[in-house]
Amino acid sequence: MPPRSSHRAPPTGPDFRTVEPSALILLKGAEDYVATRALDRVRAALKAQHPDLEFTRMDVSEATRGELTTLASPSLFGEPRLILAEDLAHMNEVFLEDALRFLEEPADSEVTLILRHSGGNRGKKLTDAISARGVVVDCSSVKSDNDKLDFVRKEFRTAQRTIHPEAARALVSAAGSTLSDLGSACQQLMRDVPEDITADHVDKYFGGRVEASAFKVADATFAGRGEAALRLYRHALSTGVSPVAVTAALAMKARQVAALVDHRGAQGELAQTLKMAPWQLKQAAETARRWTPREAAGAVEAVAQADAEVKGVSRTPEYAVEKAIARITTQVS
């Protein structure tokens, strides 16, 4: 039999924001938010062309012999069909055999098959076959702040909108716990703010999340803004942030300042050692300029004492952190 061909678009590797309907699409990677965005885009495009589109989700772990072929067969009234085969990592042997056979059959121009593989070696033969014949959308996990910043920039660039660099960084800090939260925040800003997005816009919409973060407490503390640091700390506690989380953020900031305060070499290697993105290292270096080695050592000592107290030495862990914040802010040059 001739190899299965694409009826709408040639095999490519599009971004999830730009993927178009094609006979065969593989969503490859563990990031559910990206895979969902890609699926929703393709489904919406097909629905716009064919209001009577039939959409079917297949449980590939329980697939029966010939089920895929039956679903892809022409219907009584000839409605276009969209089939989603989810979680290929858990497919049974029946589906694997049927899918490989399906790929070798002539394409029905009214069928779109989307397959989702979140990772692992299971199904590699099938994913390789799909990659050779269809469209592959990268759905890899987005974990690092650099990757999240890149995600934010592309969201705005694709929408032909502008977000200032400091605003993008603030948005990652405020709403970057999950890609779903970050994507929703990007969409909200683009929907509600007609002009270029600035850090002030991010603070207006998401400032509550920023203020409640342990890292914002640490930033204010090592910048010497004592009143602001204490206010942020108390607000963080009121929103559920634990004293342990705050001491962890203070400890990270203290290590960064101590490493940078007297550093004279190239910063690239230091960034790897401290596991920091270049923009994070730049921010930490600006903070470290206000510190002397002796002051940095004192800050490290204050954080270590607070950490011990909040983990059991003190009966008032909340107050122990307040003491550390006050001691550190008074040492800033």
pLDDT tens column, 17-26:
999 999 999 9
Q: Is the pLDDT reported for residue 300 higher than 80?
A: yes
State how far the Cα of 11 lies from the Cα of 124, in Å rounded to an integer. 18
Q: Is the pLDDT reported for residue 225 higher than 80?
A: yes
β-strand partners of 85: 58, 115
Per-residue pLDDT at 209: 59
If one counts every other C-beta atom within 10 angstroms of the C-beta of residue 35, the result is 21
pLDDT tens column, 119-128:
888 888 899 9
Instruction: Give a three-class secondary structure readout of 253-302.
Output: HHHHHHHHCCCCCCHHHHHHHHCCCHHHHHHHHHHHCCCCHHHHHHHHHH
Q: Is the pLDDT reported for residue 49 higher than 60?
A: yes
Q: How far is CA 169 from CA 16, 85, 105, 136, 205, in A?
A: 22, 37, 49, 30, 14
Per-residue pLDDT at 76: 63
pLDDT tens column, 63-92:
999 999 999 887 666 788 999 998 898 999
Alpha helical stretches, state H, 176-198: 179-192
Q: How far is CA 291 from CA 63, 249, 268, in A?
A: 64, 18, 21
